[in-house]
């Protein structure tokens, strides 16, 4: 069983990383850090580069957690990508970061976090920075 951590290079992603590594260490589980760029995107500010991957794995080592970074491409529905990773990794927990949004923003645009909370069939820990 692993802890699956959704990561983007934002304060929300950093909060998810910190809490996810803390949970993985407490549970004695490995972690999979998921940084999933949108399929077909030629430039994605949320995709981490090799030095950032090294920083993430170093942070995991410092926390005493064995971790790897996965960067699967996703289409319009990130839930399918996470479902696949939950199944393939045997994840017992998913950790994601949340940002503050207005009620109108939630109604009009939805959110990946909301779709993950409603769509995944495993425990999800949602954290704020």
Mention the CATH class of domain 2-127. alpha beta
Q: Is the pLDDT confidence value at 10 over 80? A: yes
Count of alpha carbons within 13 angstroms of residue 120, beta-carbon side: 28
Read off the pLDDT of residues 45-56 as tens digits, 9 standing for 90 and up. 577 889 999 999
pLDDT for the residue 66: 97
pLDDT for the residue 42: 46
Work out the mean pLDDT of the chain and round it to a whole number.
86
pLDDT for the residue 57: 97
Provide the residue ranges of all domains of the chain, joining segments of one domain with +: 2-127
Question: Which of 73, 90, 81, 75 lies closest to 116 in space, CA to CA?
Answer: 81
Please tell me the chain's helix, strand, coil percentages from 3-state DSSP, rounded to the nearest 5.
Answer: 45, 20, 35
What separation, in Å, do the N-terminal and C-terminal C-alpha atoms of the chain show?
Answer: 26
């Amino acid at each position: 069983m692993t802890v699956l951590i959704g990561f983007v290079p934002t304060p929300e992603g950093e909060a998810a990383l910190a809490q996810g590594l803390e949970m993985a260490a407490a549970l004695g589980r490995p972690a999979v850090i998921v940084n999933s760029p949108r399929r077909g995107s030629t430039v994605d500010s949320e995709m981490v580069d090799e030095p950032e991957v090294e920083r993430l794995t170093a942070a995991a080592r410092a926390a005493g957690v064995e971790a790897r970074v996965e960067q699967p491409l996703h289409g319009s529905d990130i839930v399918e990508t996470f479902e696949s990773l939950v199944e393939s990794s045997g994840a017992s927990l998913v950790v994601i970061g949340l940002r503050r949004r207005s009620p109108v923003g939630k109604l009009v645009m939805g959110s990946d976090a909301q779709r993950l909370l409603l769509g995944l069939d495993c425990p999800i820990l949602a954290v704020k920075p």
